Amino acid sequence: MLNIYIVRHGQDEDNAKLILNGHRDKSLTTLGKKQAQELAHTSKKLKVDFSAAYASPLKRAQETATVITKELKLKKAKVLAGLIERDFGIMTGKPYSDIIPLCAPRLVLTAGVNYFLNPYGAETFPQLLIRAKKVLAEIKKSYKSGNILLVTHGDMGKMLFAAYYHLDWLKAIKMFYLKNSDALLLSPGLNPKQAYIAK
Is 8 annotated as contributing to ligand binding? yes
Give the Cα separation of 60 and 16 in Å (integer). 12
Give the Cα separation of 37 and 44 in Å (integer). 11
Note the helical H segments in 11-153.
Answer: 13-16, 30-46, 59-71, 99-103, 125-142
Is 9 annotated as contributing to ligand binding? yes
Where b means 16+ CB within 10 Å and e means fewer, 82-117 reads bbbbbbbbebbebeeebbeeebeeeeeeeeeeebbe
Three-class secondary structure of residue 195 per DSSP = coil
Active-site residue (options: 63, 85, 123, 153): 85
Active-site residue (options: 9, 63, 123, 153): 9
Is 10 annotated as contributing to ligand binding? yes
In the residue annotation, 123 being an active-site residue is answered as no
The region, left, alpha or beta by phi > 0 then psi within -120 to 50, assigned to residue 166 is left
Is 11 annotated as contributing to ligand binding? yes
Q: Within its chain, how far is the Cα of 181 from the centroid?
A: 9
Q: Which of 115, 63, 109 is nearest to 88 (CA)?
A: 115
Is 60 annotated as contributing to ligand binding? yes
Is 13 annotated as contributing to ligand binding? yes
Annotated binding-site positions for substrate: 8-15, 60
Binding residues: 8-15, 60
Catalytic positions, please? 9, 85
